[in-house]
């Protein structure tokens, strides 16, 4: 049986309620002595081993609430965060419209990418390192004589990474369940903490919501790319290239986990994004 975490006394936590327990760790809603609520995340052993909890907390501390949930405290494997009681972006997608959700995401991304007042953390993972799994899978396919989607996507990723523009700290995992509304409006949660081309931070939006058939709808992909490119002053072709590369990266992670069915679902998103990109180039 897992023990309750040893919360630091200075956090003034009077009671807590476990609301999630997964591969990434445990999440508690806590009541504090000052009458406020907060969320405490306890990182799992896997997250700690990969250093993701440090990168995530460092990114949040650097943003200091600008576009992101506010980091209230950190201690060992624990991070205390601003309590968000509002809706997720997924709710906007389901109850209002896909375009409305995309517009909100673009605003959050714009605020996340705003120039910081202090130097960025040194712990952030460079984007090239983030793509290692894809490059490894593509090389294995090449050696096996396979001209796979992984190989094509790795070539696209190499070109993108060799020509990164305006490199800056990135959230690294923007999607419909990682944007929530709180007292300060819409903010992002659960950053990966990366460093690279800001166009990459948009790629995961095409892959979400995870269970939606719209992920492979070329009309939806084209519309989303147009909204995001316009509102974030990005080249639409570049966004589609990153969407194509990211889907294969996601698939390579699934292959490593032995989840081949999910890998194929990821590749299908990339296939659709590539088709939209080709139509754009042909036009």
Residue 38: φ, ψ to 5°? -150, 170
Identified catalytic residue from 77, 100, 107, 173: 173
Dist. CA 193–CA 190, nearest whole Å: 9
Distances in whole angstroms, Cα of residue 182 to Cα of each of 28, 52, 55, 205: 17, 24, 23, 21
Torsion of CA 149, 105, 102, 266, to 10 degrees: 20
If one counts every other C-beta atom within 10 angstroms of the C-beta of residue 263, the result is 22
Distances in whole angstroms, Cα of residue 21 to Cα of each of 2, 18, 25: 10, 8, 6
Structure tokens, 63: 């943003």
Does the annotation count 76 as an active-site position? no
Residue 6: φ, ψ to 5°? -90, 90
Q: Are 214 and 90 in contact (CB under 8 A)?
A: no
Q: Which residues are catalytic?
A: 173
């Amino acid at each position: 049986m897992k023990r309750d975490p040893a919360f630091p006394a200075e956090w003034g936590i009077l009671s807590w309620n476990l609301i999630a327990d997964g591969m990434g760790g445990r999440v508690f809603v806590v009541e504090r002595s000052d009458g406020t609520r907060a969320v405490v995340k306890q990182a799992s052993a896997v997250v700690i081993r990969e250093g993701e909890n440090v990168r995530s907390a460092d990114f949040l501390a650097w943003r200091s609430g600008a576009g992101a949930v506010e980091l209230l405290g950190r201690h060992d494997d624990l991070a205390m965060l601003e309590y968000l009681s509002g809706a997720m972006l997924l709710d906007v997608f389901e109850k209002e419209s896909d375009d409305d959700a995309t517009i909100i995401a673009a605003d959050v991304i714009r605020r996340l990418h705003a120039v910081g007042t202090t130097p960025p953390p040194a712990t952030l993972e460079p984007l090239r390192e983030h793509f290692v799994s894809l490059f490894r899978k593509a090389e294995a396919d090449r050696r096996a004589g396979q001209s796979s989607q992984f190989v094509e996507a790795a070539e696209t990723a190499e070109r993108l990474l060799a020509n990164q523009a305006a490199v800056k700290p990135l959230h690294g995992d923007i999607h419909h369940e990682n944007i929530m509304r709180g007292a300060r409006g819409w903010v992002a949660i659960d950053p990966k903490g990366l460093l690279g081309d800001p166009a990459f931070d948009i790629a995961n939006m095409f892959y979400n919501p995870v269970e939606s058939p719209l992920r492979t709808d070329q009309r939806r992909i084209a519309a989303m790319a147009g909204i995001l490119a316009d509102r974030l002053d990005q080249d639409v072709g570049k966004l589609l290239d990153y969407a194509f590369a990211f889907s294969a990266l996601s698939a390579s992670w699934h292959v490593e986990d032995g989840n081949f069915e999910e890998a194929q679902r990821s590749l299908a998103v990339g296939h659709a994004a590539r088709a939209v990109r080709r139509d754009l180039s042909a036009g």
